[in-house]
Structure 1
Amino acid sequence: MNLRLGAEAEAALRAEAQRTGRSQQDILREAIGKYLGLIPGQAGDVDPLIARGKVASPRVPFRDVRPRLRLRSGESSLDLLDRDDRI
């Protein structure tokens, strides 16, 4: 079986595999098993920190975040906080 994922789903799967140390295939098998009711539990049970209530489940699906602001050479984020035009 071959599975073609959209770019966003592929990036999310790759990031989750890297974050958890699990293979992409293992993550997909578990997700499909849960979706089909072959494995009891919900998606939030996969991460033990979510299951124990230590962290909240994501409010939005995975999205690849790219920085929107680039600091000039020699400029720090603190310089941005000390601007006169801030309210």
Structure 2
Amino acid sequence: MAMNLRLRPEAAAALKAESERTGLSQQEILRRAVDEHLGLAENRHAVAYPDWVIPPDNPPRVIEPQFRLAEGMTVLDLIDREDRV
């Protein structure tokens, strides 16, 4: 079924951003949202993954850095050392 849909400007912007982030079309994102809302989604997760991606069992964890580099130092400085073989 084809239809027109008028979204609030902030919803339209969020939909466009999600489409760019996931690589899914805006139509596919809306189809999945409608399916989920109506209970028609088959094993769908909150995050819209392409069909060829197997979603993780657990959500990603936020990893805190274990140490911070000195001011002005980059990771390249750590890799590009003379004492490295």
Q: State the TM bucket, normalised to the shorter chain.
A: 0.5 to 0.7
Q: 1:42 to 1:54 in 2, by over 3 A?
A: same
Between Structure 1 and Structure 2, how many residues are aligned?
55
- Residues of 2 paired with 1:45 and 1:11: CA distance? 18
Equivalent pairs: percent with the same residue?
47
Which structure would you say has the larger RCO, counting Cα contacts within 8 Å and 6 or more residues apart? 1
Structure (1/2) with the larger helix percentage: 1
Runs of 4+ with >4 A deviation: none
Q: Please state if 1:17 is matched with 2:19.
A: yes
- Residues of 2 paired with 1:53 and 1:46: CA distance? 13
Which residue of 2 is the match for residue 53 of structure 1? 59
TM-score, structure 1 as length reference: 0.52
- Residues of 2 paired with 1:33 and 1:6: CA distance? 21
Q: Gaps (5+ residues) in structure 1?
A: 57-87
Q: Gaps (5+ residues) in structure 2?
A: 50-54, 63-85
